[in-house]
């Protein structure tokens, strides 16, 4: 029961099972959930990244395809004889019209055409930028083309802030005489087309660094979304959040836009890092759209877990019930058994351990009932103390030497009492008397050893040693005496008590035995009881007993030498409790003592005189007569010279 | 010239023709003239021999274009190439453009020295197309069908012209002694009008040998049409 205060001790089996289940299930389910969710999220992010990379690739591919178309168209133009003729005619206006015509025929693959001579002097420019000769990026383009084996170069160049994919090709007549530069705008139309293919959002932004104070202070970068498939609100979020620093450029960036989150990937289209004008393409993919599956899966998983938990709880409750119900039944029965009710039995249908337990409890109850019955019966047959001794100790033959006080009680006058009564009544009366005696003995911690007719043998100090075994025997003696006198005037008790070493133990055969004591002490005790008739006293106690219970008052009766015993024994009559005796009794005791002294001193005349006087005054005339008779005998044949006053009884 | 390298047969034929022309020239001048000779040895920046270079000797006194030959030239169209790729012709001379291929060609020029274009014609054309080149200068001719076909007609002021061979050597013999302006032209020569000039003195009976290193600009190639179609239409 010390576990009651521990946090892991449970008052109910059901609670224990539930806690156990939850303790087992929740970490497992939690672990699985964590693992699956993490992997799924990772996978989704990987998927988004893959889509984004794919989107960027498609962006590039679309751009490349359109550039190829542009190249094809521009290339065809360079070999067009009519165009050559027009070029040879050296008339820019005609050439301009021819260029517009080509653009018109290009199905939007070419948005601009620029023709420059080999020195970079602009001949025509459909974008009418007003350049006389090429500068900056255009010059770079020509240099790149010039360095190429076939005179071919492409680039992205911003015209009025709008990025154009441009291509430069030589114009042969039949030797190269000029450069033709064709271009198409990376405009709304373009990003819409990319979005159609990739299902990703595409934006093209330009980053202009406004150097307010050169060489000092950070660059002020002005970001402007040129074209985008995003909504205006999302475009603004994009412009606010996107990062263009070196490390961020190649990484995926997450943009929390007005409508939803986007994962973004940057592609540099124009301008080196740190250049005054940089143009980027931003491919974006909605995070929510892609993680929809994850969210759905997660909620499915949670629903499934709840179902598993509920089902498991129900299963546990059922299990707990199936175990606890019969257990509680058993507990009830066991409690009843504890209270002494062995009649209840448990009905458990199951054949499992609980069934076995119930069966065991039932048989235990039967066993206990039987034992109780035996104990009860034993208590009736033998005394309670011996019954306990028998029931609680291994029953074995043999014994031990113990000091005990043995009480023999007999009923004087019982035969007279029974005269004229039918046997049944005799037995009833006997049982009543014996019950009374037995109750008295037991009430003084004595043990009734056996009944022999109307005689009772009782033990004090065995099997259980007490503090005042002999005194208890004395008290029992007095009570028995008075009880019998009170019961019927015709009845009186005669009791012998002796104290000494006895052999105590179970006597008999291995099949049938009883706890008892044997030895000289027992025999003497019985002899003392039988001597009461001779001395006409209600009791005789041995000297050993009298010494052992000094709080009582005795009268020395005699020194006797019983049959079979060489040792003579001083015997006494118990008169009452020391200090409670009446004066007359005290006088009588002292008178008897004086007479006895004269008798032992062989002053026969004096003894005779004293006993004779006492015989008249005292109640017990027979006692005095016993001594008077002996005096007569001793006068005729005096005792041996070493006579101490003992009287030898020839036989029992 | 690269085209000839990629086409050994055309190159060989060109060499044969060149030899024939130089031999006939030699025989022509041997009887009447003494052995004044000028030899030009041409290499490029890498030390490789430069073929297809035109050497022209200009002289105040000899500047009588009508007096000498080289008034007729023929530029064949063989296996979709012009053969030869460099031709010299004295101003006022004619050049014809026979078609030896079994497909049609369309020869044109937008060069200021001579702008012309022929209709599409084949090898069975009765009349061989020819043009008269009156203005000295370089005429670049192409075919409007085959973008890669390119040939140069050097219209010279004098008839003292020679074209360097595969060893980068151009030789003129039987030159009257005197002071000349030596003009060297190459289609890729890094100089104004792709030409260089210097004064040379030819002494009687003297032999002049000049080594020149020409700075050439990089050649820009034009892709030839795929060979599959060539097989099909030959």
Q: CB–CB of A88 and B150 under 8 A? A: no
Q: Which residues of B lie closer than 8 Å to A, measured between beta carbons? A: 108, 110, 115, 140-144, 147, 149-150, 187, 220-223
CB atoms within 10 A of CB B193: 11
User: Are the C-beta atoms of residues A530 and A651 closer than 8 Å to each other?
Assistant: no
CB distance A13 to A320 below 8 Å: yes
Within a domain: B38? yes
In a domain, A314, yes or no: no
Task: Collect all residues of chain A within an 8 Å Cβ-Cβ radius of residue B221.
Answer: 149-150
Other Cβ atoms within 10 Å of B32 Cβ, number: 7
Return the exposure string of A85-94: e unless at least 16 CB atoms fall within 10 Å of the residue's CB, then b.
Answer: bbbbeeebee
pLDDT for B224: 72
- Rounded to whole angstroms, the Cα distance separating A298 from A325 reads 39
Residue A176 scores a pLDDT above 60: yes
Which CATH number covers residue A160? 3.30.450.220
**Any domain includes B12:** no
A215 contacts: CB under 8 Å, gap ≥ 6: none
- Give residue B70's pLDDT: 61
pLDDT tops 90 at residue A10: no
CB atoms inside a 10 Å sphere around CB B80:
21
pLDDT band at A630 (very low <50, low <70, confident <90, very high): confident
Find out whether A545 and A403 touch, Cβ atoms under 8 Å.
no
In chain A, residues with a C-beta closer than 8 Å to the C-beta of B149 are 174
**A170 in reach of chain B (CB within 8 A):** yes
A205 forms beta bridges with: A225, A280
Return the ∠ at Cα B88 (arms to B86 and B90), rounded to 5°: 160
Q: Quick check: is A323 in a domain? A: no
- Check A88 against B221: CB less than 8 A apart: no
Instruction: Say whether residue A8 is in contact with chain B using an 8 A CB cutoff.
Output: no
Give the separation between CA A409 and CA A429, rounded to whole angstroms. Answer: 16
- In A106-231, which residue ranges form alpha helices assigned H by DSSP? 136-147, 188-198
In a domain, A413, yes or no: yes
Among partner residues B115, B147, B220, which is closest to A79 by beta-carbon distance?
B147
Q: Which residues of B touch A81 (CB under 8 A)?
A: 108, 144
Asked if the structure places residue A136 within a domain, the reply is yes
B86-110, pLDDT tens digit by residue? Answer: 999 988 888 999 998 888 898 999 8
* Contact A88/B at CB under 8 A: yes
Best to test chain A binding among B137, B142, B153, B185 (most A CBs inside 10 Å): B142
Quick one: what percent of chain A has pLDDT higher than 90? 6
Which residues in B lie closer than 8 A to residue A149 (C-beta atoms)? 220-221
How much is the average pLDDT of B133-140? Answer: 92
Q: What is the mean pLDDT of residues A224-237?
A: 86
**Smallest Cα distance from A80 to chain B, Å:** 9
Domain co-membership, A420 together with A494: yes
Per-residue pLDDT, A9: 66
Residue A612 lies in a domain: no
The reply to whether A151 and A205 lie within a common domain is yes
Cis peptide before A174 (omega within 30 of 0): yes
End residue of a domain, out of A286, A305, A324: A305
* Residue B94 placed within a domain: no
User: Is A151's Cβ below 8 Å from some Cβ in B?
Assistant: yes
* 8 Å CB contact between B123 and B98: yes
Residue B20: inside a domain, yes or no? no
Q: What is the C-alpha separation between A98 and A77, in angstroms, rounded?
A: 9
Q: Which residue of B has its CA nearest to A89?
A: B110
Residue of chain B whose alpha carbon sits nearest to that of A146: B220
Query: Does residue A296 share a domain with residue A443?
Result: no
The answer on A157 and A27 residing in a single domain is yes
Q: Are B220 and A173 in contact (CB < 8 Å)? A: no
Return the minimum-mean-pLDDT range out of A570-579, A586-595, A639-648: A639-648
Confidence label for B229 from pLDDT (cuts 50, 70 and 90):
very low
Q: Looking at the 3D structure of chain A, how many domains does it have?
A: 3
Same domain, residue pair A542 and A460: yes
How many percent of chain B have pLDDT more than 90?
A: 35
Residues in chain A, total: 652
Q: Do B140 and A172 touch (CB under 8 A)?
A: no
Nearest CA to B177 out of B33, B40, B42 is that of B33
pLDDT at B226 over 70: no
Q: Both ends of chain B: CA-CA distance in Å?
A: 22
Q: What is the percent of chain A where pLDDT is above 70? A: 93
- pLDDT tens by residue, A581-622: 888 888 888 888 888 888 888 888 888 888 888 888 887 888
pLDDT at A251: 74
Are A354 and A480 contained in the same domain? no
Q: Do B220 and A84 touch (CB under 8 A)?
A: no
Q: Are residues A367 and A401 both part of a single domain?
A: no
Decide if B141 and A174 are in contact by the 8 Å CB cutoff. yes
Residue B1 lies in a domain: no
Tens digits of residue pLDDT in A460-469: 987 778 888 8
Residue contact A84–B141, C-beta within 8 A: no
Point out which residues pair with A172 in neighbouring strands: A176
The predicted structure's pLDDT at residue B9: 60
Cross-chain CB nearest to A174 (options B140, B221, B223): B140
Average pLDDT, chain A: 83
Shortest Cα distance, chain B CAs vs residue A170, angstroms: 10
In chain A, whose CA is at the least distance from the CA of B218? A149
Give the pLDDT confidence score for residue B34 in this predicted structure: 54
Q: So what's the pLDDT on residue A405?
A: 92
pLDDT of residue B28: 44
Encoded tokens for B45: 């920046």
Tell me which chain B residue has its CA closest to the CA of residue A81: B144
Which of A350, A379, A408 is a domain's end point?
A379
A363 with A403, same domain? no
CA angle B123–B129–B132, rounded 5-degree value: 155
- Is the peptide bond preceding residue B84 cis, with omega within 30 degrees of 0? yes
Which residues of chain A are within 8 Å of residue B189 when distances are taken between CB atoms?
none
> Does A372 lie in the same domain as A459?
no
Q: What is the CATH number of the domain that holds B51?
A: 2.60.40.10
Question: Cβ B150–A174 below 8 Å, yes or no?
Answer: yes
Contact B55, B88 (CB under 8 A): no
CATH number for the domain spanning A535: value is 3.30.70.1230
Q: Does A150 touch chain B (CB under 8 A)?
A: yes
Task: Check residues A491 and B230 and name the one with the higher pLDDT.
Answer: A491
**Amino acid A120: pLDDT:** 87
Q: Under an 8 A CB cutoff, do B144 and A175 touch?
A: no
- The chain B residue lying nearest A82, using CA atoms, is B144
- Per-residue pLDDT band at A397 (split at 50, 70, 90): low
My answer on whether A226 and A369 are in the same domain is no
Partner-chain contact B142 A172, CB within 8 Å: yes
* Nearest neighbour of B147 by CB, restricted to A88, A172, A177: A172
The reply to whether B233 falls in a domain is no
Considering the domain boundaries, does residue B123 fall inside one? no
If you measure CA to CA, which chain A residue comes closest to B149? A174
Residue A175 included in any domain: yes
Do A375 and A240 lie in one domain? The reply is no
Chain A / chain B CB contacts < 8 angstroms:
35
- Using alpha carbons, list the distances in angstroms from residue A518 to A444, A529, A561: 22, 16, 20
Query: A45: closest CA among A256, A300, A253?
Result: A253
Is the pLDDT score of A295 beyond 70? yes
The distance of B108 to chain A (nearest Cα, Å) reads: 9
Give residue B155's pLDDT band: very low, low, confident or very high (50, 70, 90).
Answer: very high
Q: Which helix (H) or strand (E) holds B207?
A: strand B207-214
The residue of chain B with its CA nearest to that of A145 is B220
Give mean pLDDT, residues A195-220. Answer: 71
pLDDT of residue A600: 86
Query: Is there a domain that residue B115 lies in?
Result: no
Question: Nearest C-alpha of chain B: how many angstroms from A173?
Answer: 7
Residue A515's domain spans which residues?
A: 394-581
| pLDDT bracket for residue A26 (50, 70, 90) | confident
Instruction: Report whether pLDDT(B23) > 50.
Output: no
> Of A291, A299, A303, A304, whose CA–CA distance to A40 is shortest?
A291
For A172, which of B141, B187, B222 is closest by C-beta distance?
B222
Task: Report the number of distinct structural domains present in chain B.
Answer: 1
**Are B115 and A88 an interchain contact pair (Cβ–Cβ within 8 Å)?**
yes
Confidence of residue A267 (pLDDT cuts 50, 70, 90): confident
Task: Please indicate whether residue A246 or residue B212 has the higher confidence score (pLDDT).
Answer: B212
Q: Please tell me the predicted confidence (pLDDT) of residue A652.
A: 47
The Cα B56–Cα B113 span in angstroms is: 17
**B218: closest CA of chain A, how far (Å):** 9
Question: Model-level pTM?
Answer: 0.52
Contact predicate B64/B159, CB 8 Å? no
**Beta carbons of B147 and A81 less than 8 Å apart:** no
A271 & A398 share domain: no
pLDDT at B232 over 50: no
Q: How far apart are CA A638 and CA A626, in angstroms?
A: 16
Pairing verdict, β A569-577 and B178-185: unpaired
CB A58 within 8 A of CB A197: yes
If you measure CA to CA, which chain A residue comes closest to B148?
Answer: A174
Report DSSP state, residue B82: E
Query: Cα(A210)–Cα(B165) distance, rounded to whole angstroms?
Result: 61
Residue B176 structural domain: 33-62+161-218
**CB-based contact A174 B142, cutoff 8 Å:** yes
Question: Rounded to the nearest 5 degrees, what angle is found at the Cα of B64, between the Cα atoms of B60 and B68?
Answer: 130
Neighbour-count burial for A214-231, b at 16+ CB within 10 Å, e otherwise? eeeeeeeeeeebbbbbbe
Q: A476, A441 in Cβ contact below 8 A?
A: yes
Per-residue pLDDT, averaged over A220-245, amounts to: 82
Residue B220 with chain A: CB contacts under 8 Å? 149-151, 170, 176
Say if residue B202's pLDDT is above 50: yes
Residue A263 falls inside a structural domain: yes
* Final residue in a domain of this structure, among A349, A379, A409: A379
Q: How far is B147 from chain A (nearest CA, A)?
A: 7
d(CA B26, CA B29): 5
């Amino acid at each position: 029961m010390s576990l009651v205060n521990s946090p892991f001790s449970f008052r109910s089996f059901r609670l224990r099972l539930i806690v156990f289940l939850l303790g087992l299930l929740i970490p497992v389910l939690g672990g699985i959930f964590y693992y699956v969710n993490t992997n799924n999220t990772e996978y989704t992010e990987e998927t988004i990244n893959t889509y984004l990379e794919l989107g960027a690739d498609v962006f590039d591919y679309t751009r490349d395809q359109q550039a190829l178309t542009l190249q094809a168209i521009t290339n065809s133009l360079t070999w067009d004889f009519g165009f050559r003729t027009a070029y040879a005619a050296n008339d820019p206006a005609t050439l301009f019209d021819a260029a517009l015509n080509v653009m018109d025929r290009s199905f939007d693959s070419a948005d601009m055409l620029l023709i420059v001579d080999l020195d970079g002097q602009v001949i025509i420019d459909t974008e009418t930028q007003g350049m006389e000769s090429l500068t900056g990026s255009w010059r770079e383009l020509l240099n790149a083309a010039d360095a190429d084996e076939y005179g071919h170069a492409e680039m992205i160049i911003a015209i009025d802030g709008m990025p154009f994919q441009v291509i430069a090709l030589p114009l042969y007549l039949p030797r190269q005489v000029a450069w033709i530069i064709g271009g198409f705008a990376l405009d709304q139309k373009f990003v819409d087309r990319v979005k159609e293919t990739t299902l990703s959002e595409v934006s093209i932004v330009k980053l202009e660094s406004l150097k307010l104070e050169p060489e000092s202070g950070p660059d002020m970068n002005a970001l402007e979304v040129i074209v985008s498939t995003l909504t205006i609100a999302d475009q603004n979020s994009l412009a606010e959040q996107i990062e263009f620093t070196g490390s961020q450029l190649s990484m995926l960036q997450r943009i929390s836009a007005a409508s939803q989150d986007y994962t973004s990937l940057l592609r540099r289209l124009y301008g080196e890092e740190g250049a005054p004008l940089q143009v980027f393409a931003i491919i974006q993919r909605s995070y929510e759209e892609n993680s929809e599956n994850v969210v759905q899966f997660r909620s499915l998983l949670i629903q499934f877990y709840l179902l598993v938990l509920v089902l498991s709880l129900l299963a546990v409750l059922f299990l707990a019930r199936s175990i606890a119900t019969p257990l509680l039944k058993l507990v009830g029965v066991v409690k009843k058994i504890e209270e002494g009710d062995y009649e209840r039995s448990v009905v458990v249908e199951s054949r499992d351990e609980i069934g076995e337990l119930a069966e065991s409890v039932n048989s235990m109850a039967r066993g206990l009932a039987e034992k109780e019955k035996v104990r009860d019966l034993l208590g009736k047959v033998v005394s309670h103390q011996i019954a306990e001794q028998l029931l609680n100790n291994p029953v074995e033959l043999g014994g031990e030497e113990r000091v005990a006080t043995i009480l023999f009680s007999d009923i004087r006058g019982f035969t007279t009492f029974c005269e004229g009564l039918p046997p049944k009544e005799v037995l009833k009366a006997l049982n009543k008397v014996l019950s009374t005696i037995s109750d008295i003995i037991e009430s003084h911690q004595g043990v009734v050893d056996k009944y022999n007719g109307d005689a009772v043998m009782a033990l004090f100090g065995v099997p259980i040693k007490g503090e005042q075994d002999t005194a208890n025997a004395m008290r029992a003696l007095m009570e028995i005496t008075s009880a019998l006198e009170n019961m019927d005037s015709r009845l009186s008790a005669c009791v012998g008590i002796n104290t000494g070493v006895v052999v105590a133990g179970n006597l008999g055969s291995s099949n049938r035995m009883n706890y008892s004591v044997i030895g000289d002490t027992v025999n003497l005790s019985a002899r003392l009881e039988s001597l009461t008739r001779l001395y006409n006293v209600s009791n005789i106690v041995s000297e050993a007993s009298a010494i052992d219970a000094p709080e009582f008052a005795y009268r020395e009766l005699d020194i006797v030498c019983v049959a079979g015993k060489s040792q003579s024994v001083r015997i006494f009559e118990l008169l009452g409790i020391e200090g409670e005796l009446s004066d007359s009794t005290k006088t009588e005791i002292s008178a008897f003592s004086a007479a006895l002294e004269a008798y032992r001193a062989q002053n026969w005349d004096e003894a005779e005189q004293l006993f004779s006087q006492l015989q008249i005054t005292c109640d017990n005339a027979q006692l005095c007569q016993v001594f008077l008779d002996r005096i007569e005998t001793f006068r005729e044949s005096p005792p041996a010279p070493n006579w101490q006053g003992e009287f030898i009884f020839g036989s029992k | 010239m690269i085209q000839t390298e990629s086409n050994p047969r055309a190159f060989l034929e060109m060499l044969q023709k060149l030899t024939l022309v130089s031999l006939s020239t030699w025989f022509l001048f041997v009887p009447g003239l003494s052995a004044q000779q000028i030899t030009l040895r041409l290499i490029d920046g890498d030390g490789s021999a430069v073929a297809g270079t035109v050497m022209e000797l200009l002289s105040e006194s000899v500047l009588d274009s009508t007096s000498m030959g080289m008034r007729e030239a023929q530029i064949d169209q063989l296996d979709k190439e012009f053969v030869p790729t460099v031709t010299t012709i004295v101003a006022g001379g004619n050049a014809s453009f026979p078609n030896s291929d079994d497909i049609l060609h369309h020869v044109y020029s937008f060069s200021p020295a001579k702008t012309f274009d022929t209709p599409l014609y084949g090898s069975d054309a009765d009349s061989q197309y020819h043009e008269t080149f009156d203005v000295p200068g370089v005429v670049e001719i192409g075919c409007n069908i085959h973008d890669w076909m390119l040939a140069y007609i050097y219209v010279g002021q004098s008839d003292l012209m020679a074209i360097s061979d595969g060893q980068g050597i151009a030789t003129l013999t039987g030159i009257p002694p005197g002071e000349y302006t030596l003009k060297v032209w190459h289609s890729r020569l890094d100089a104004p009008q792709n030409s260089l000039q210097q004064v040379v003195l030819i002494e009687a009976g003297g032999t002049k040998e000049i080594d020149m290193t020409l700075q050439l600009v990089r050649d820009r190639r034009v892709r030839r049409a795929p060979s599959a179609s060539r097989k099909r239409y030959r």
